[in-house]
Structure 1
Amino acid sequence: MRNEYLEEVLEEILTDESTVEERDLMVYNDDINTFDHVIDTLIKVCRHTTEQAEQCTWIIHYKGKCAVKKGTLRELKPMRDAICEAGIDAKIV
């Protein structure tokens, strides 16, 4: 929890210039969530097509992570939060 708080504080103090810089929303593999749950979450949160979500989920499964969306910090933060609320590990990198 402490790391998440520090991440949020650091994100808040970033300059306006850094919030327009493009970043990746990275989703990480775990042994808890099902393929269907991850696919449904990517469709709902990232507005992926079924095919995009399935491809990302397979990449997450085999490679351990996948950049599921590109955008500014301002665009990606609500998506990251929603994915994490769904119990899936995600970070903005």
Structure 2
Amino acid sequence: MNWDTDIFHKEDFEVELLEETTDLRNLVVYNDDVNTFDHVIDTLIKVCGHTAEQAEQCTLLIHYKGKCTVKVGSYEELSGMCTALHDKDLSADIE
């Protein structure tokens, strides 16, 4: 019996199982012509728990690229955040 081989296969199985049971989604915020930089930054800090620096970087990406993934998680984790972003008049979706 080769212990290294047995351990390797067990780790492969655990990784495959984790990938099958975890359905990660992206919470994406889109650019608009309405909201200010400060409003988007403040909202990302309050709703998504971003640091000021994270929120500023995401806001710049939203502005220049048209959209930015602001959070990754399960649909259940992100749906409340998406609703809160909508309530703050941001355009967001879970992809």
Short-chain TM bin: 0.7 to 0.9
* TM-score, length-scaled by structure 1: 0.79
Match of 2:39 among 37, 40, 49: 37
Measured after TM superposition, the shift of residue 20 of structure 1 is 4.4
Q: How many equivalent pairs are there?
A: 76
Equivalent residues in 2 for 1:1-93 (5 A)? Answer: 20-93=22-95
Q: Considering only CA atoms, is the larger Rg found in Structure 1 or Structure 2? A: 2
* TM-score, length-scaled by structure 2: 0.77
Unaligned stretches of 5+ in structure 2?
1-20
Report percent identity of matched pairs: 63
Distance 1:54 1:84 in 2: 19
Runs of 4+ aligned structure 1 residues displaced above 4 Å come to: none
Question: Could you report, residue by residue, the CA deviation over 1:20-75 in whole angstroms, capped at 9, with x for unpaired residues?
Answer: 41000000000000000000000000000000000000000000000000000000
Unaligned stretches of 5+ in structure 1?
1-18
